Structure 1
Amino acid sequence: MTTEQPLAAPPLTPHLPQQPTGDGGGPPAARRGFLAKAFGVTALLSAAGSALGLLRDLLLARYFGANQGTDAFLVAWTVPETAAPLLIEDAMAFLMVPAFSLALVLREEQPEGPDPVRQLVKATLPWMLLALSTLSAGAALGAPQLVELLAPGLADPELAVTCTRITAFTVLPFGVAGYLASALRAHHGFTAPATIYVAYNLGILALLLTCHQLWGVKSAALGVALGSLLMAGVLIVPFLGRLHSGKRRKAHRRGPVDRRLVLMPLAMLPVAAFTLTRQAQVFIERYLGSGLPPGTISHLNYATKVSQLAMTSAILVVTVTFPVVARALAAGDPTAARDRVEKDLGQASALVLMGTAFLMACAPSVVALLFQRGAFGAHDTAATAAVIRVYSFGLPAQALIGVMVRPYFSVRPVVRRADDPDTEDGGRRLLDWYPVAAMALGLLVTVAVGLAAAPRFGALALAAGNAAGITAAAALLLRGLLLRGIALRLPAVLGGQARLLAAALGAAALGAVAAALTANPLLSTLSGGVTVVLAFAALGAAFGAAEVRGPVLALARALSPRATRAAEGISSHGR
C-alpha cells in the first residue's frame, strides 16, 4: 500500500461532520439500496436510449451506407459529438455536480437565510446561457473553416458545411441539458436525466424515418437538432421542482459565519480543456481518415458506436456514484470517497472487460447482424469488424479514465465557501492541469501511431493509435489521482484489475471458438456471447475477482439456497 501524498489537499470543509450526507448517506445497507435503485432506473432508461441509438445507426447504414455522403454527415456530427461530452457527460458534470453537492451540504447545514442552491443557479446559469449561445453561433458561422480543418480531403465539403450549420444549433440545448442533469443528479434524482438520450434519439429517428428520401442525409442533421431540443425539454420541470424543494428549517445561529458560495471561474478551464483533449482523438481520426479511401470515416464511426456499447454499463456505474463521491468530498470525508472510487474501478472494469471479450470474440457476426443490409455490404462488415477488435484494446482504459477523473476534479470544484479562504498554492493549482497533460501525451501517442501506420494499415492504424493513446493517458491519470490526495490502495486495485483481465482473455478465447462454429450471424453472436458470459463468470470467480465472485454467489444463492448454505457451512467449518 502506498501512502505517498506529497501534494495531498486538505479536506474542503474540515468543520463539517465527516459523514456522507443526503439521500446517499446513512447506513451502508441503506446506501447500497439507494445506489442499486438508482442504478436500476438509470440502466433501464439508458438501455432504452442505447437501443434507440442503435436503431438510429442501423437506419443510417441502411439508408446511406458508407460513402462520401455519410462521411460528410459524420464530419458535421463532430460538433454534437464534441458538445455532448463537453456539455452533458463530462465537463459540465465535473463542474456542476460537485458545485451543487457543496450547495446541498450548505443547505443542510444552514437552514436559515438565502438558499445556497438557488444562489448557485443565479451565479452560474445566466453566463452559461450567454456562452453557449455564442459558441453555437460561432460554430454555424465558421462551418466552412471548421470542415476544412477537420477533414481537408473530404469528397463533398459543401454537404458537410450545410450539415455542420444545422448541427451547430445543438450546442445551446446540449449545455442546458447537461446543466440541469448535473443539478438533478446532485440531488440524487436520476430518472429524468436518464431519459435524455431516449428523447434525443426519438427526435433523430422521427426525421430519419419521415424525411430521408426528401432531404437525404440532411434529415439526420435536422434530427440531431430536434433531438437536442427534446433533451433539454424533458429536464426543465423536474429541475424546477428540485430547485424549489429546499425546506427552510429554523435553527439556532452559531454566529455571524459567512456561508455564501463564491464562484471560481478559473477552475472551469482545466475541466473544459481536459474534455476537449479527450475528444480530440475523434478529430485526429477524422482528419487522418479524410485522406484515406472513401468510407474509412464511416467504418471508424460504426466501429466506435458498437464498441461504445461495451462502455454503457461502466459509465452507468460512475454516473450513479459520482454524486456520492462529490458529496463525500464536499463534507470533508476523503476516506469514503476513496473507498467508493476503488469499488467503482473494479465494477466498471468488470463490466467493460466482459463487453470487450464479447466484441473480440463476436465482432464479425455482430456487425453482420446489425448493419449488413441495404447499402452496407460484406466488405463494410469485414472492415468495421476489424476496426472494432483493434478499438477494443483501449476500452478498459476508457472506463478507468471515466472513473478516475470525476473525483479528481471534485477535490477543487468551481465554487467554494466564502468562509473557506482560497489558500491553495501554485503547485496545487498546477495540478488542476495534470489530466490535460495526461490526455495531451496520450494524443501524441495517437498521432504518432496514426501517422506512422495509416499509409499501410489504414483505419486499423487509426484505431490502434486511439487504443494506445488512451491507455497511456489512463496510466498517467492513475498517478495523478494519488497526487490529488485520494490515496488509492494501489496493490489491491491493480491486483483486482489483473484478475479481471485474465478472466476476460480466457473468455474471449473460448467465445471466439464458440462463435466460429456457425456462419449464421444470429446463432454465432448468441453462442459466442453466452460462452463469453459464462466463461468470464467462471474464470473471474476462480481467480478471486470480488466484482465477479459476489454476483456469482448471489445468483447461486437465488438458484440453490440449500446447496449454497451447505457450501458456506463447510467453508466456515474449515476456517
Structure 2
Amino acid sequence: MSDAVTVPQPAGGGLVGTTAPAGAPDPKPGGPERFIARAAAVTAALTAAGALFGLVRDQLIAHLFGANGETDAFLVAWTVPEIASTLLIEDAMALVMIPAFSLALSRRAALPGTVGAAPAVCAGSDDPVGRLVASTAPRLFLALAGCAALMAAAAPQLVHVLAPGLDDPGTAVDCTRLTAVTVLTFGVAGYFSAALRAHRRFVPPAAIYIAYNTGIIATVIALHHAGGVRSAAAGVAVGSVLMVAVQLPAFLRQMPARATGNRASRAPDRPRARRFRTGRPAVPAGLAVLAPVALFAVTRQAQVLVERYLASSLPAGAISHLNYAQKVAQVPMVLSLMVCTVTFPLVARAMADGEAERARRRVERDLTLAGLVVLLGGAYVIAYAPQLIELLFQRGAFDSQDTTATASVMRVYALGLLGHSLTGALIRPYFSAVRPTWDPAVTMGAGLLITIVGAHLAVPHWGVRGIAAANALGIIVTALLLLRGLGTRGITIDVRAVTAGLCRLAVAAATAAAAGWAVAPLTGTALEAAAAGCLIVPAAFTVAALCVRAPEIPLLISSVKRKCRHAR
C-alpha cells in the first residue's frame, strides 16, 4: 500500500478522499485494501453499465441496419474512434499521464506545509500539479485539434487505405468525417481521466462510456430515418463530447486554483519550491517518455486495422460479424481489468516513492485476479456463444444466418481473451516508471507480425474465423513475452509462480467451457440456456479450480463465507 492513502469519505456520493500524511497509520485496519475493493467495485459497476449501454447501442444498430455493406462502411469509419480510444483514453494517455501526475503529486506532498493540503492551498506557480497541467494541456489539445481537422480532410484517402475492397466507400468517407472529432474529444477525456485517477477519483472516469453510448443511442434514435447509418457516426461525435462533459466538473475541482497575484494566498511559511525546467531540453525528454507508449498503443490497435483490411475483401457482412463477436467477447476482458485500472495509480505512486516491493506484490495479485475473471467469462462466452448472439442481436435486419456466423467467430476470438487481458494488465507495471521502456512496443510488434502472417495464411481456408484465430495467436504470444520480460525488467515479479497459477485457472476454464457447451443445447430457449449457463459454468469452474488447486479460489470462497456470516 502507498504511504499516501486515500480514505473514502462518507458524504459526496462518490469515491472522494483526502490524502493522509506519509507514514501515517491507516485510519482503520485494512483501510487501503478496503478502498481498493470499494473503488474497484464502483469502477466495475459503472464499466459494466457502460458495457450494457454499448450492447444496447450495438443491438439498436443491428436491428435498424443489419450486417451488410452499409454497416461495414460505418465500421470502417469507426476505426478512427477505436484507435483514438486506445491511444488517448485506455493506453497511451493513461500510461504516460498517470505516472506523470503521480510524480507531481508525490513532489507536492514533499513540499513543506502541503501534506494533506487541498488543491486550493497549493495554488500558485510553485505547485507541481499546476505546472504539469500548464505545460502539457494547452499544447496537447491544440495538436489534437489539428490532427482531427487533418483526418476529416483526408477521409477519402484514409478509407481507401483502411478498406480498399469496400463496396460503399462514399458512406465510409461521410462517417469518417463525422467521427474525426473524436481525436480531440477523446484526447481531452483521456487527459481528464488520467488526472482524476492519479488523484484517486475513479467515478467520473468510469462513467464516460455510459455518457458516450447514451449519446450514440439518442442520436441514432433521433436521426436514423433521415441519415441512415450516418446517424450512428454522428452519435459517436455527440457521445465523445459527453465524455468530456461528465468529467469536467471533477477535473476542475482537483486542479489548483489559478494564481491571482495575491501572494498571501500561498500557504504561510512555505519556501518557494524549485521550478521544473520548461525550456528546450525538456522537449526531447517528453518525446522519450511518450514515444514508446504511443508506439505500443498504435501497434496494439493495428490489429484492428489488419482485421478490417483483410475482411473488406470477404463477402459483405464479414466486418460486421467480426465486430459484433468482439464486442460481446471483450466484456469479460474489460471487467477483468477493473482492478488493474484502480491499482495502476497506486503502483505508479509506489514506484515514484521508490517502493518496488509493494508494487511487485500488487502486480502479482492483479495478474491472478485478472486471469481468473477473464477465464471464467471466456468459458461462458465459448459455451453459450450462439445463445448469447441470438438473445442480443437476432431481430430486425439481423437474421439467424448472421447469428450463426457471428457466434462461430466469437468462439474463436474468445480463445485469445486471456492474452488480451494479460497484455492490458502487464503494460501498466512496464509503464509505471518515470521513463517507460521500449520492450512492450517491440513485443507488441512481434505479436502483430504473427497476426498478419497467420491471418494471410488462414483467411483463404477459414474466412473471417481465420482472422479471429490469428488475432488470438498473436496476442497470446505477446502476453507470454511480456510476462517473461517483466520478471527481469521493471517490477520483477515471480514469473514462474504467476504462470503456474494462470495455467491452473486455464484448465478450470476449459473444463467449465466443455461442461457448458455440452449442456447448452438441452436447456430450452436462448434466454433459458444463457441463464442456466450463469450457474453451470461458474459451478464447473469452481470445482475444477479446487481440484487443480488454482490460486485465489479458496480465498474467494472464504471471503464469501465471512460475508454470509456477517449478514446473519
Q: Same fold (TM over 0.5)?
A: yes
Change (3 A) 1:34 1:557: closer
Q: Is the 8 A contact 1:86 1:275 kept in 2?
A: yes
Q: Which amino acid is 1:333 matched to?
A: E
Q: Which amino acid is 2:461 matched to?
A: R
1:285 to 303, 307, 310: 307
Q: How does 1:446-461 map to 2 (within 5 A)?
A: 446-461=451-466
CA distance in 1, matches of 2:566, 2:201: 35
State the match for 1:385 in structure 2. 407
How many residues align? The count is: 527
Moved over 6 A (4+): 245-248
State the match for 1:67 in structure 2. 68
Q: Which amino acid is 2:551 matched to?
A: A
State the match for 1:515 in structure 2. 520
Q: Which has the higher contact order (CA 8 A, sep 6+)?
A: 1
CA distance in 1, matches of 2:140, 2:562: 51
State the match for 2:10 in structure 1. none
1:259 deviation in Å? 6.2
Please give the root-mean-square deviation of Cα atoms over the aligned residues, in Å: 2.1
CA distance in 2, matches of 1:192, 1:493: 32
CA distance in 1, matches of 2:57, 2:133: 35
Percent identity between the two aligned chains: 49
Q: How does 1:369-408 map to 2 (within 5 A)?
A: 369-408=391-430
State the match for 2:13 in structure 1. none
Q: How big is each residue's C-alpha offset from its partner over 1:101-147, in whole Å with a ceiling of 9 and x where there is no partner? A: 00000111014670100000011101101110111011101111110
Q: How big is each residue's C-alpha offset from its partner over 1:253-293, in whole Å with a ceiling of 9 and x where there is no partner? A: 6xx98463765322101111100000000000000000111
2:236 to 210, 215, 224: 224
Q: Is the 8 A contact 2:459 2:467 kept in 1?
A: yes
1:540 deviation in Å? 2.1
Q: How does 1:210-249 map to 2 (within 5 A)?
A: 210-244=222-256
Q: Is the 8 A contact 2:100 2:434 kept in 1?
A: no
Residue 327 of structure 1 pairs with residue 349 of structure 2: yes
1:492 to 486, 497, 502: 497
Q: Which amino acid is 2:521 matched to?
A: A
Q: Is the 8 A contact 2:101 2:132 kept in 1?
A: yes
CA distance in 1, matches of 2:230, 2:99: 38
Residue 23 of structure 1 pairs with residue 45 of structure 2: no
State the match for 2:559 in structure 1. 554
Q: How big is each residue's C-alpha offset from its partner over 1:372-430, in whole Å with a ceiling of 9 and x where there is no partner? A: 111111111111111111111110011111111011111134xxxxxxxxxxxxxxxxx
Residue 275 of structure 1 pairs with residue 297 of structure 2: yes
Q: Is the 8 A contact 2:427 2:440 kept in 1?
A: yes
Q: Is the 8 A contact 1:21 1:331 kept in 2?
A: no
Q: How does 1:67-466 map to 2 (within 5 A)?
A: 67-111=68-112, 114-244=126-256, 258=274, 260=276, 263=282, 264-266=285-287, 267-413=289-435, 432-466=437-471
State the match for 1:42 in structure 2. 43
State the match for 1:537 in structure 2. 542
Q: Is the 8 A contact 1:143 1:165 kept in 2?
A: yes
Q: How big is each residue's C-alpha offset from its partner over 1:489-517, in whole Å with a ceiling of 9 and x where there is no partner? A: 12211121112111111111111122121
Q: What SS does structure 1 have at the residue aligned with 2:337? A: helix
Structure 1 length-normalised TM: 0.88
CA distance in 2, matches of 1:549, 1:503: 14
1:195 deviation in Å? 1.1
Q: How big is each residue's C-alpha offset from its partner over 1:519-543, in whole Å with a ceiling of 9 and x where there is no partner? A: 4101111112310011212322343
CA distance in 2, matches of 1:355, 1:248: 52
1:313 deviation in Å? 1.3
CA distance in 2, matches of 1:509, 1:85: 33
Q: Is the 8 A contact 1:449 1:465 kept in 2?
A: yes
CA distance in 1, matches of 2:39, 2:450: 38
Q: Which amino acid is 1:178 matched to?
A: G
Q: Which amino acid is 1:354 matched to?
A: L
1:561 deviation in Å? 7.8
Q: How big is each residue's C-alpha offset from its partner over 1:444-486, in whole Å with a ceiling of 9 and x where there is no partner? A: 1111111111012100000000000001111111133234231
CA distance in 2, matches of 1:444, 1:331: 37
Q: What SS does structure 1 have at the residue aligned with 2:538? A: helix
Q: Which amino acid is 1:173 matched to?
A: T
Q: Is the 8 A contact 2:5 2:32 kept in 1?
A: no
CA distance in 2, matches of 1:485, 1:309: 29
Q: Is the 8 A contact 2:74 2:233 kept in 1?
A: yes
CA distance in 2, matches of 1:108, 1:22: 12
Q: Which amino acid is 2:276 matched to?
A: R
Q: Is the 8 A contact 2:126 2:275 kept in 1?
A: no
Q: Is the 8 A contact 1:86 1:276 kept in 2?
A: yes
CA distance in 1, matches of 2:463, 2:310: 9
Q: How big is each residue's C-alpha offset from its partner over 1:316-373, in whole Å with a ceiling of 9 and x where there is no partner? A: 1111111010000011111111111101100000000000000111001000110111
CA distance in 2, matches of 1:482, 1:555: 33
1:48 deviation in Å? 1.4
**More displaced 10-residue stretch of structure 1: 432-441 or 98-107:** 432-441
Structure 2 length-normalised TM: 0.89
Q: Is the 8 A contact 1:438 1:473 kept in 2?
A: yes
Q: Is the 8 A contact 1:511 1:529 kept in 2?
A: no
Q: Is the 8 A contact 1:71 1:297 kept in 2?
A: yes
1:558 deviation in Å? 3.6
**More displaced 10-residue stretch of structure 1: 457-466 or 45-54:** 45-54
Residue 479 of structure 1 pairs with residue 500 of structure 2: no
1:435 deviation in Å? 1.0
Q: How big is each residue's C-alpha offset from its partner over 1:191-220, in whole Å with a ceiling of 9 and x where there is no partner? A: 111111111011001111111111100000
CA distance in 2, matches of 1:560, 1:505: 32
Q: Which amino acid is 2:463 matched to?
A: G
Change (3 A) 1:308 1:351: same
State the match for 1:3 in structure 2. none
Q: What SS does structure 1 have at the residue aligned with 2:522? A: coil
Q: Is the 8 A contact 1:513 1:528 kept in 2?
A: no
CA distance in 2, matches of 1:396, 1:322: 19
